[in-house]
């Protein structure tokens, strides 16, 4: 089949559905067949309720037939990271702690997708509670990079990226606290956008670090990514950090060929693999050739980003994950004892090692006598980083760097070295600390492994990031790429 359905973009599928040459049921059946063929190899999904998917597809087809189609996503499957609540579906966060939890409510984004007519298609694997950069921290299963099954897909939204690269689904949702959308997108050769903090409601996103977390769209093309972003971004009174209707207007994209692009000084030096540097430099030269103004910018506090992040994120996480105690839901230890003993045992048994490591770290940095030295200082560093980024973005439209220093590493390669793993996010973390939108765009290969570049813009400049990505994408062959499986 020259144009097997699983290879098509969401936009193209939408056109066929609209033209009546395709039904959502036929599309979902094809994707379920694809799932049966390759998910065991890739491990992207942790759950797929096929009967539910087909029922949703039939309902979509009926709506369309009745002239009640809900827009460009009508009938299109969107797979969802397993930390975003969908009523009636598991919400495990790939943790033993929540292995049996079924969400009794819809997240805001799930409501938005239903309102857009999309098919809520299955649950995607992730690092436990979104803590990790390889999806190796999942307590449920391993996920492999479709481009090289011996390698990690990145993380924590590894399932979301791998599902796209394996042709399992045309669109997926990830969440990004320090790079969890963009790093796996880079490793799997897909597009991943972390929106401005507050653009998309976090209601129904299981919190890792509340001041950093954002849900974002992932796709195999800029066009699809934008399609999904538009469906997700809307005001929501249930998230007080979500922009109100009057505050959320995106800055117009303008002419992508006139973008001013800043290259942070020294960023291409630090441990960046030569093939990655070459691909990113080629992208810079492409933009220069298109007429963009390229300049070097200074971000003197950039080195503080990773330590700042690991203080702020773990502090918030230690509190956010307090609720998992076996009392109301989730894993409850079988060992008897007082309620407090039961809670302790449930947490000891339910959480994996990386989650425990971060809870301990976060508890420490908030504790009396240490909070000033760690947490309070980290907040000051965060403010400084944000100020520097905003100052830099006053002079340029976007900042361009690699997304990750190296291509995807082998499964198990860094599992014993958490500090090395934490550096995976060195380029992506500042956007979370500063609340800025950022995107990873596929820009080449290191051998057979995808490489992406990373753009950061001012608050609400998503349209500019997408326009810049589109300009590059149109001139290169990386859109719609899928691994051969």
Window contacting another protein (CB under 8 A); options: 98-106, 147-155, 158-166, 395-403: 98-106
9 catalytic residue (yes or no): no
Distance CA 70, CA 24 (A): 13
User: Are 203 and 236 within 8 A, CB to CB?
Assistant: yes
32/345 with CB nearer another protein = 345
Pick from 15, 52, 253, 329: which binds another protein (CB under 8 A)? 329
Shortest Cβ 121–another protein spacing (Å): 19
Q: Is residue 405 near another protein by the rule CB under 8 A?
A: no
12/316 with CB nearer another protein = 316
Pick from 61, 148, 316, 388: which binds another protein (CB under 8 A)? 316
21/338 with CB nearer another protein = 338
Burial class of 425 by CB neighbour count within 10 A (0 to 12, 13 to 18, 19+): buried
Q: Is residue 241 near another protein by the rule CB under 8 A?
A: yes
- Count interface residues toward another protein (CB under 8 A): 47
Q: Is residue 103 near another protein by the rule CB under 8 A?
A: yes
SS3 content of the chain, % helix, strand, coil (to 5): 45, 15, 40
148/213 with CB nearer another protein = 213
Distance CA 424, CA 406 (A): 8
416 catalytic residue (yes or no): no
Q: Is residue 9 near another protein by the rule CB under 8 A?
A: no
Which residue, among 400, 382, 72, 425, has the nearest Cα to 197 in the 3D structure?
A: 382
Q: Is residue 319 near another protein by the rule CB under 8 A?
A: yes
Indicate left, alpha or beta for 291 from its phi (over 0: left) and psi (-120 to 50: alpha): left
Q: Is residue 337 near another protein by the rule CB under 8 A?
A: no
- Report residue 414 CA to chain centroid gap: 21
Q: Is residue 105 near another protein by the rule CB under 8 A?
A: yes
Pick the catalytic residue from 94, 103, 180, 186.
Answer: 180
User: Are 161 and 190 within 8 A, CB to CB?
Assistant: yes
81 catalytic residue (yes or no): yes
Pick from 61, 111, 148, 325: which binds another protein (CB under 8 A)? 325
Could you give the string, one character per residue 24-63, with x where binding to another protein holds by CB under 8 A and - elsewhere?
A: ----------------------------------------
Shortest Cβ 294–another protein spacing (Å): 36
183/346 with CB nearer another protein = 346
259/312 with CB nearer another protein = 312
Pick the catalytic residue from 134, 138, 156, 301.
Answer: 156
Q: Is residue 238 near another protein by the rule CB under 8 A?
A: yes
The two three-digit tokens of residue 289, written as one number: 């050739």
3-state secondary structure string across 60-125? HHHHHHCCCCCCCCCCCEEEEECCECCCCCECCCCCHHHCCCECCCCCHHHHHHHHCCCEEEEEEC
Pick the catalytic residue from 24, 60, 81, 94.
Answer: 81
Q: Any idea what the Cα angle at residue 422 is, between residues 419 and 425, rounded to 5°?
A: 155
Sign of the Cα torsion 452, 454, 455, 460 reads positive
50/344 with CB nearer another protein = 344
Q: Is residue 206 near another protein by the rule CB under 8 A?
A: yes
Q: Is residue 204 near another protein by the rule CB under 8 A?
A: yes
Q: For the segment 59-88, give every residue that binds another protein (CB under 8 A).
A: 83-85
Query: What are the beta bridge partners of residue 213?
Result: none
Pick from 33, 115, 289, 327: which binds another protein (CB under 8 A)? 327
Q: Is residue 107 near another protein by the rule CB under 8 A?
A: yes
* Burial annotation 185-198 (CB, 10 A radius, 16+ → b, else e): bbbbbbbbbbbbbb
Rg (CA), the chain: 21
35/324 with CB nearer another protein = 324
Q: Is residue 367 near another protein by the rule CB under 8 A?
A: yes
Query: Residue 156, preceding bond cis, omega within 30 degrees?
Result: yes
Q: Any idea what the Cα angle at residue 282 is, between residues 278 and 285, rounded to 5°?
A: 140
User: Are 244 and 276 within 8 A, CB to CB?
Assistant: no
Q: Is residue 328 near another protein by the rule CB under 8 A?
A: yes
Binding site for another protein (CB under 8 A): 83-85, 91, 93, 98, 101, 103-105, 107, 202-207, 209-211, 237-241, 315-316, 318-319, 322-325, 327-329, 338-340, 343-344, 363, 366-368, 371, 375
């Amino acid at each position: 089949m020259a144009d097997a359905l699983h290879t098509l973009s969401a936009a193209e599928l939408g056109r066929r559905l609209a033209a009546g040459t395709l039904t959502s049921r036929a599309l979902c059946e094809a994707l379920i067949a694809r799932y049966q063929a390759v998910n065991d190899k890739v491990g992207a999904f942790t759950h797929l309720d096929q009967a539910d998917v087909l029922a949703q597809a039939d309902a979509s087809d009926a709506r369309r037939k009745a002239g009640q189609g809900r827009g460009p996503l009508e009938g299109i499957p969107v797979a969802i990271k397993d930390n975003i609540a969908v009523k009636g579906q598991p919400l495990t966060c790939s943790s033993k702690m929540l292995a049996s939890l079924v969400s009794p409510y819809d997240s805001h984004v799930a409501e938005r997708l239903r309102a857009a007519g999309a098919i809520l298609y299955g649950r995607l694997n992730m690092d436990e509670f979104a803590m990790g950069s390889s999806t190796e921290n999942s307590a449920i299963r391993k996920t492999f990079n479709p481009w090289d099954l011996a390698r990690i897909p990145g993380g924590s939204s590894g399932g979301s990226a791998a599902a796209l690269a394996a042709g399992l689904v045309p669109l997926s949702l990830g969440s990004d606290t320090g790079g969890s959308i963009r790093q796996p997108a880079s490793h799997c050769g897909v597009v991943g956008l972390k929106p401005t903090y507050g653009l998309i409601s976090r209601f129904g996103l299981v919190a890792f670090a509340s001041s950093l977390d954002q849900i974002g769209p992932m796709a195999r093309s800029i066009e699809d990514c934008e399609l999904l972003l538009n469906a997700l971004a809307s005001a929501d009174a249930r998230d007080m950090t979500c922009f109100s209707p009057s505050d959320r207007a995106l800055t117009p994209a303008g002419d992508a060929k006139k973008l001013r692009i800043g290259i942070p000084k020294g960023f291409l030096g630090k441990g960046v693999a030569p093939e990655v540097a070459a691909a990113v430099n080629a992208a810079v030269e492409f933009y220069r050739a298109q007429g963009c103004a390229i300049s070097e910018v200074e971000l003197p506090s950039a080195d503080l980003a990773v330590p700042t992040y690991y203080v702020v994120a773990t502090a918030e996480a230690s509190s956010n994950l307090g609720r998992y105690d076996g009392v109301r839901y989730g894993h409850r230890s079988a060992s008897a004892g007082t309620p407090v003993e039961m809670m302790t045992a449930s947490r000891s048994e339910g959480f994996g090692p990386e989650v425990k490591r971060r809870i301990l770290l976060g508890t420490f940095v908030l504790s009396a006598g240490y909070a000033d030295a760690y947490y309070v200082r980290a907040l000051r560093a965060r403010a400084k980083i944000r100020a520097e980024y905003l100052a830099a973005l006053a002079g340029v439209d976007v900042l361009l760097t690699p997304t990750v220093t190296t291509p995807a590493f082998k499964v198990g390669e860094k599992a014993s070295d958490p500090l090395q793993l934490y550096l995976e996010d060195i380029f992506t973390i500042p956007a979370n600390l500063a609340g800025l939108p950022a995107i990873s765009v596929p820009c080449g290969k290191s051998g057979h492994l995808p490489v992406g570049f990373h753009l950061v813009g001012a608050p609400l400049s998503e349209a500019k990031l997408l326009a810049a990505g589109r300009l590059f994408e149109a001139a290169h062959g990386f859109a719609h790429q899928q691994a051969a499986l």
